[in-house]
Chain A
């Protein structure tokens, strides 16, 4: 019974959303709007779940002495930001905005910037001409990189056109094939869930 109710809810709403997509009737449109509203409301509640879980897990780990300094910093950040927003608001010169612009944004940008370093190390390690296929891949990568580097090299125009050709034909063909596979995979997975064939998301066996 525990499993039956969620399965029935899942199937009914799935069917309803599928059918409303094909209808322009006012009932269908307002039903769609109501479901979308509830979807957003439910999402807001899930954030509370996240906050509670975050505090609970971190407090447990702090009491056990695991990674204490990191967890304390994390908890201070999580508690102080909403408090600042509640007391001083989120206007341009508020402490919340100061923290957002001078702590949150630079820290997030720093982690994003790591990507450049990891691209460099991964290129060094991964792009090896181990086989014919790998050599073709390597050649294509070098052409694309050279064409994007604004170097005053001979035939730069032709190189750029060739790079665009690689991007628009061989590369795009492969991506489209993968995308079609993903689309069909998504479709069958969704149907398996709606029809109750796949129940792992409920914690149960298939």
Chain B
């Protein structure tokens, strides 16, 4: 690191991201099979089916998570899928409610009939297992304080047996808990995760323990393309591509320094 001070690496990245974000140029992305699989699954859910959307993230990852969540919410509402919002992280609770409520309004959906937000439950493993037994016992009231059995769309929902799938929007490993513990109840698990977590879920996806997955800003951009909208995913693509190239440049530079110093060492 002494050949190129850390600060220069950081300043270079900061300038690059700042400039590319300011440019607001669209980059055309090729849609990956993973995103196609997710889009196709949501598309295949019959109208009127109920899906649980779990906001399993914190405020920190919002720039990456928000575009994914928005694209998926728009797709679900446009297909007239009924949504139950939950959160297994306290910080995700408010964010999830706002996102769901705003997009619900955009599609003229009624709270309680078309979507409902149950809020947060501590101890995610216990909450996932408990919902498998009874969602009402896990969430006796929704986020706004309405009794479970007073909410029209929940009257026919007892547990996972009445749910089509769970979409876990996560910035960490919480989707793993949905797979490991929710999977016991034979419920389909879909993951919308940050780019850094994508490879963690690959084994679960290939073994069909997970039904579909999209990852990161690129996944959001691909999903937006399939859904036919322009959102935060597409806008961030130029900056992300530039950052990838910058890292490649640093790796190459690091190796040039390494081989030069090795040569010098051999000469000495």
Residues of A within 8 A of B (CB): 21, 29, 32-33, 36-37, 39-40, 43-44, 90, 92, 97, 100, 104-105, 108-109, 111-112, 115-117, 119-121, 123-125, 127-130, 138, 141-142, 145-146, 148-151, 157, 160, 164, 167-168, 171-172, 175-176, 179
* A-B pairs with beta carbons under 8 Å apart, 19 shown: A21-B184, A29-B133, A32-B133, A33-B130, A36-B129, A36-B133, A37-B137, A109-B61, A111-B60, A116-B243, A120-B13, A120-B247, A124-B250, A124-B253, A138-B251, A149-B240, A160-B30, A172-B202, A172-B203
B237 CB–A CB distance under 8 Å: yes
Query: Inside 8 A of B218's CB, which chain A residues have their CB?
Result: 148
Residue in B1, B30, B129, B244 whose CB lies within 8 Å of A121:
B1
Beyond A149-B240, A149-B244, A164-B33, list 14 extra A-B contacts (CB 8 Å). Answer: A32-B129, A108-B59, A117-B10, A117-B13, A120-B13, A121-B10, A124-B254, A128-B254, A142-B248, A142-B251, A149-B245, A160-B30, A168-B206, A171-B202
CB distance from A97 to the nearest CB of B (A): 7
A119 to B196, CA, bound (A): 11
A104 to B60, CA, bound (A): 9
A44 to B10, CA, bound (A): 41
CB distance from A164 to the nearest CB of B (A): 8
CB distance from B12 to the nearest CB of A (A): 8
Judge whether A109 and B63 touch: CB under 8 Å: yes
With most chain B CB atoms within 10 A of its CB, the pick from A90, A97, A124, A160 is: A124
B100 CB–A CB distance under 8 Å: no
Which secondary structure dominates chain B's binding surface? helix
Residue in B6, B130, B245, B258 whose CB lies within 8 Å of A151:
B245
Judge whether B9 and A145 touch: CB under 8 Å: no
Judge whether A117 and B199 touch: CB under 8 Å: no
CB distance from B6 to the nearest CB of A (A): 5
Judge whether A121 and B258 touch: CB under 8 Å: no
**Interface range on chain B: under 10, 10 to 19, 20 to 34, or 35 or more?**
35 or more
Judge whether B126 and A40 touch: CB under 8 Å: yes
B150 CB–A CB distance under 8 Å: no
Residues of B within 8 A of A (CB): 1, 4, 6, 9-10, 12-14, 17, 27-30, 32-33, 58-63, 91, 94, 98, 121-123, 126-127, 129-130, 133-134, 137, 184, 196, 199, 202-203, 206, 218, 237, 240-241, 243-248, 250-251, 253-255, 258-259
A105 to B94, CA, bound (A): 11
A44 to B90, CA, bound (A): 12
CB distance from B228 to the nearest CB of A (A): 19
Judge whether A127 and B203 touch: CB under 8 Å: no
